[in-house]
Amino acid sequence: MALTGLLSGVFGSRHDRERKRVQPIVDEINEHYARLQTVSEEELRSQTAKFRARISEVTSALEGRIAELKELKRQTSDPAARDAIDNELSGVDGRGGVEQELRKATAEVLDELLPEAFATVREASRRLLGTKLTVTGQEMDWNMVPYDVQLMGGIQLHQGRIAEMATGEGKTLVATLPLYLNALPGKGAHLITVNSYLARRDSEWMGHVYKYLGLTVGCIDDTEPGTMQRRAAYECDITYGTNNEFGFDYLRDNMVQSLEHRVQRNHVYAIVDEVDSVLIDEARTPLIISGPVGNESDAEYAQHNAAVARLVKKQTDLVNALVAAGEKAFEAGDNDEAALNLYKAQLGGPKNKRLLKVLQETGAKQLVQKMELAHIADRRLPGSKQQYRDIENDMLYVLDEKGHTVHLTDAGVDFMSPERHDEFVLPDLSHEVHAIEHDPDLSPAEKLEALNEVNRSYAATSERLNIVHQLLRAHALFERDVNYVVQEGQVLIVDEFTGRTMHGRRWSEGLHQAVEAKEGVQVKGETQTLATITIQNYFRLYDKLAGMTGTAETEETEFHEIYKLGVSVIPTNRPVIRDDRQDLVYKTRREKYNAILEETQRLHELGFPVLVGTVSVEVSETLSRMFKRAGIPHNVLNAKYHQREAEIVAFAGQPGAVTIATNMAGRGTDIKLGPGVTESKPSQRKNAENELEDLVEWGGLHIIGSERHESRRIDRQLRGRAGRQGDPGASQFFLSLEDDLMRLFGSDRIARLMDRMGAEEGEMLTHSLITRSIEQAQKRVELQNFQSRKRLLEYDDVMNQQREVIYSLRSFALEGGEEAKAEAEKMVEKGVAKRVENMLNEFDSQEDWDFALVRQDLLMHYMLSVPGFEDGNLPTSQEMAEQRAIEAGRKAFADKLASLNEYAEQLLALVMLHVIDEKWKDHLYDLDQLRNAIGYRSWGQKDPLIEYKHEAYNMFVDLMQDIHNTFTERFLRATITFEERQPLPPMYLSGPEIDGNGGGGVATTAPPKKKFNALGVLEEVGSGDGDGTEAALDVGPTEAPKKGASVKPDPTVHVGGRSSSLSKLGTAGGVAGVPGVPGAQKDWSNVGRNDPCPCGSGKKFKKCHGANL
């Protein structure tokens, strides 16, 4: 450390060296800036056209070649020729292709233009000084011109780095510099914000400069998903929006049925505002678009909710009894008995108020921790030697707060179902299947029926267990006004990092339904994943990514490891003189709240503005009630009152103003100080000995933190509200041993310190050791969260490779041309070849091959006649048989295209898209189930991630084969007839509404009032379930034919016994199945997807007769 300090003293820190590197560029910008101050208004505005002309000189030839090659590839059917074109476009064997040449040429010309372009933005900002503009309905004056340090920040952003700039240093303005420069090539530049308010505000505010210089600016959060207005926002030179909207638009674009309804362009350049919030805090939650599940179990949630509520109440009584017994033993000096009872109580109710009070007694917490360590060590012993194996038997369920999990014990199962224990225990499926299959008294039909019954029973029990488990989580782990709020009959998730309600977001796996049942509001239907991507993999799509925040340095390792982003700390324009005081620690929350009340009252009476930061709605409302009783006028800014955010923030810096705010006040808000509040004033304050002492109180905004957050960054952001742009200010955190962070991760050491220092009730401690202990606790949580995010990414990387294959197949279908036909022909070849292989493998030996049966099977499934399978000319090997089937498949495919005439490409795309979407949806469901269960492989000393990769690969191979088989069947069976056309009703494009997740949350697609079925026909369906406003675009009715005009017959496509008009083919996103084969008279509605098929084939239903339903 000493050597590092010496080297830094001699050569400067890494950030000092970085500043020296960019200083010459800043000097060059200032030279251009001085020159531009003398040019005319017209000449300054023409700079944009001049820059674009220079870029076009360098890139136009390459762009023309790329467009030419892409069109050539689209119209080329020969695979070898397409590969050669691909290589020229993308490069091969380490050599860059034309696309890479274009990126390199564009980057070089932008670097050359940077000094003059930045100077142009700076001069435009100067000339706009004093002009009026309206931002989010409020009139304001333009009063900003970038400083030199802001130019430095802009350079770092252009170079694809993260600029750490202190709060109040004008990050919003800094972004205009690189956004203007990178928007010049005309391919779009994106600014990603953390909430829609900031996206709208910044697009209107900074749009003042962009429009002055002739660029267009849009905000996707002002538009509805899937609309022409949303697409127009993306077509702008610069586009603002929230990270979720950008991500969901990407997923929706890969669900559309027509290129015209894609809204996004290329992912070229993006700046992420509050980059740590977006790329780190929200990266634990993947983006998911989901649709309704067929079998709703809403009633079951209500049915089991009452029983779970009784279970929780019974557990509370048990915990209270254990705490009483433990307290009595502790007072009597029986430490072993006390430790055992208190530890049991902690397993069953870690937040029990009586337990928390007992644990504050000197030595009590140490006893419980020793007991916990003994239990952990005991579990590693063989079962017969375990001393504490029955320790959980007294509990009905056991909680793990750190892991956020809960599980029923045997006693809990007996309580839930005293008469039928097996209702909440999964049977051993393999044992029961083995017994049925080897039962000599059962006929094949009886065995099949018995197997079906076992599968149905297993599925029902599994579903019941999941519902009870989620209800238990809802009651025991999720708190109202902490994890969620209830407004207008809806459960709204509260973002733990921002304190804002997450409208439209829903927890997955039935948890949201469980919380709705707990709160007695309407239980919405369950959903199933249709498309998903992690935040990390979405932002990796960009050619160049940058970010800005006030707090990035603490997470520099993660930014580099996951996103390959470096961090540069930009100096402040004026020195920060805020007084960051040491934390004050109290034994109980009550003592802490009283101390906050006293300190707030003291500062309020001095006339200083005070911002009290809380981590939850519940705490903010508790403090608000205390302040009301004490007669302190104040405003509350939390998830319940976010509509008044702008008004509250505008008043927060006035003399004597008191504002209680959750973390939502931490980002993007600028609290302007009122008159006279920056001056220091004499005052008195209690010291550590609880005695009053005289002091001169620092002026400015005073920050009072009511609790430390899990992340140090959130605490730094709260402190950063004060001391902006050289203003005075002060910050201090008030903590207690009952705070979640202290209780779960750090309070043992601090409790020992308080015991040693003899802190009495009501007294507080402040010591550098305590502050360091708290920071160590935060680091442990941050490391745990980093590992969680990294693991999520490792699992998603497996799916990401599969997603790229599927989305590229969709692109072939959407773009059409010979390339799409070639891909479809390959599907047919693989489909028929695999069918032949599977049929021949069912025979015991080659001598038993029955080609008449194989020929009949191909005819039945594909309407495919294979001439080479007649008697006298039979194949002599499997390869020969497959080749003959492939040749017949090629001919049938070519004949089908020829018979469809001008409708061939349209029908080809329609069938391909619906097969891909349907099978991908099922595959995502299977991957979800695999992901949830794969962790158990660790019990067998296997790495779950490696196992997941292996299993997911095998599942993907099956998926591709399923796609090939189903496409071949549906396309070759399709027919067209012509009928008289009827006028069409109005058509609606329905976009999925964001209804994402909190911990693995979900975005649901609200059912539109009209939707296209699998063949593109507009159908009337039930109205939405109230999950949010339906996003619909009225495309308008088709014009009725004029009187006397001839009516052209309407082509109607027939697939699997259903008929639909080809002229009615829709382009709305949405997944629906193409109907199954004709002649299927049975009712399959009660057969589960994973049940054995009732036809007796031995295959799963979804792989047999259910494949087309």
Q: Quick one: pLDDT band at residue 751, thresholds 50, 70, 90? A: low
Parallel, antiparallel or unpaired: strands 610-613 and 658-661: parallel
CA–CA separation, 69 vs 911, rounded Å?
A: 27
Buried b (16+ CB within 10 A) or exposed e, 190-205: bbbbbbbbbbbbbbbb
Parallel, antiparallel or unpaired: strands 635-637 and 658-661: parallel
Q: Spell out the residues 6+ positions from residue 468 whose beta carbon is closer than 8 angstroms to its own.
A: 304, 308, 408, 416, 424
CA–CA separation, 1015 vs 1075, rounded Å?
A: 9
Q: Domain check: are 72 and 141 in the same one?
A: yes
For 467, phi then psi, to 5°, come to -60, -45
| Of residues 234, 236, 230, the one with CA closest to residue 217 | 236
Q: Domain check: are 680 and 797 in the same one?
A: no
Which one of 766, 784, 819 terminates a domain?
766
Q: Which two tokens stand for residue 182?
A: 């990178």
Looking at residue 1071, what is its pLDDT? 31
Q: Does residue 743 lie in a domain region?
A: no
Which one of 436, 460, 476 terminates a domain?
476
- Host domain of residue 496: 479-524
DSSP H or E segment with residue 461: helix 444-476
DSSP H or E segment with residue 627: helix 617-629
Q: Domain check: are 331 and 419 in the same one?
A: yes
Can you say whether the dihedral through the CA atoms of 67, 69, 73, 76 is positive or negative?
positive
Which one of 970, 1000, 1021 terminates a domain?
970
CATH code, domain carrying 492: 3.90.1440.10
pLDDT above 70: residue 435: yes
pLDDT tens by residue, 168-200: 788 899 999 999 999 999 999 999 998 888 899
Q: Domain check: are 628 and 682 in the same one?
A: yes
DSSP H or E segment with residue 545: strand 544-549
Q: Does residue 746 lie in a domain region?
A: no
Q: Does residue 468 lie in a domain region?
A: yes
Give DSSP secondary structure letters for 935-999.
GGGGGGT--HHHHHHHHHHHHHHHHHHHHHHHHHHHHHH-EEEEEE--PPPPEEEEEPPP---SS
User: Which amino acid would we find at residue 255?
Assistant: M
CA–CA separation, 585 vs 735, rounded Å?
A: 5
Q: Does residue 747 lie in a domain region?
A: no
What is the average per-residue pLDDT within 19-25?
A: 91
Q: Calculate the CA 864 to chain-centre distance.
A: 45
Based on the structure, what is the number of domains in the chain?
A: 6
CA–CA separation, 829 vs 885, rounded Å?
A: 8
CA–CA separation, 177 vs 1008, rounded Å?
A: 42
pLDDT above 50: residue 303: yes
Q: Quick one: pLDDT band at residue 557, thresholds 50, 70, 90? A: confident
Do the beta carbons of residue 850 and residue 869 sit within 8 Å? no
Longest alpha-carbon distance in the chain: 112
Do the beta carbons of residue 525 and residue 140 sit within 8 Å? no
pLDDT tens by residue, 249-260: 999 999 998 888
CATH code, domain carrying 799: 1.10.3060.10
Q: Does residue 933 lie in a domain region?
A: yes
Q: Does residue 842 lie in a domain region?
A: yes
User: Which amino acid would we find at residue 638?
Assistant: N
CA–CA separation, 76 vs 90, rounded Å?
A: 17
Kindly report the average pLDDT of the chain as a whole number: 80
Percent of the chain with pLDDT over 90: 31
Q: Domain check: are 944 and 1017 in the same one?
A: no
Do the beta carbons of residue 269 and residue 182 sit within 8 Å? yes
CA–CA separation, 152 vs 146, rounded Å?
A: 10
Calculate the alpha carbon distances from 564 to 11, 13, 539, 898 in Å.
25, 21, 11, 51
| Of residues 131, 152, 119, the one with CA closest to residue 33 | 119
pLDDT above 70: residue 497: no
Residue with tokens 């194996």: 389
Please state which of the ranges 226-230, 378-382, 593-597, 598-602 shows the lowest mean pLDDT: 378-382
User: Which amino acid would we find at residue 676?
Assistant: G
Q: Does residue 182 lie in a domain region?
A: yes
CATH code, domain carrying 55: 3.40.50.300
Q: Which two tokens stand for residue 936?
A: 């158990």
pLDDT above 60: residue 226: yes
Greatest mean pLDDT range, 14-23, 634-643, 997-1006: 14-23
pLDDT above 50: residue 230: yes
Looking at residue 1049, what is its pLDDT? 54
Buried b (16+ CB within 10 A) or exposed e, 798-825: bbbebbeebbebbebbbebeebbbebbb
Q: Domain check: are 271 and 309 in the same one?
A: no
Q: Domain check: are 835 and 959 in the same one?
A: yes
pLDDT tens by residue, 509-547: 788 889 999 998 888 877 778 888 988 899 999 999 999
For 95, phi then psi, to 5°, come to -85, 135
Q: Calculate the CA 904 to chain-centre distance.
A: 39
pLDDT tens by residue, 804-862: 999 999 998 998 888 889 899 999 999 999 988 988 887 877 778 888 888 888 888 88
Residue with tokens 């019941």: 464
CA–CA separation, 642 vs 620, rounded Å?
A: 13
Looking at residue 998, what is its pLDDT? 37
Q: Residue 641 has what DSSP assignment?
A: S
Q: Domain check: are 656 and 729 in the same one?
A: yes
Q: Domain check: are 167 and 29 in the same one?
A: yes
Q: Domain check: are 246 and 275 in the same one?
A: yes
Can you say whether the dihedral through the CA atoms of 288, 291, 295, 301 is positive or negative?
positive
pLDDT tens by residue, 997-1049: 333 344 444 333 333 333 333 333 333 333 332 222 232 333 333 444 444 45
Q: Domain check: are 175 and 58 in the same one?
A: yes
CA–CA separation, 220 vs 515, rounded Å?
A: 31
Q: Domain check: are 131 and 143 in the same one?
A: yes
Parallel, antiparallel or unpaired: strands 527-533 and 490-493: unpaired
Looking at residue 93, what is its pLDDT? 65
Residue with tokens 């948890």: 511
Please state which of the ranges 221-225, 969-973, 1037-1041 shows the lowest mean pLDDT: 1037-1041
pLDDT tens by residue, 905-927: 888 998 999 999 999 998 988 88
Q: Does residue 784 lie in a domain region?
A: no
pLDDT above 50: residue 1070: no
For 479, phi then psi, to 5°, come to -110, 140
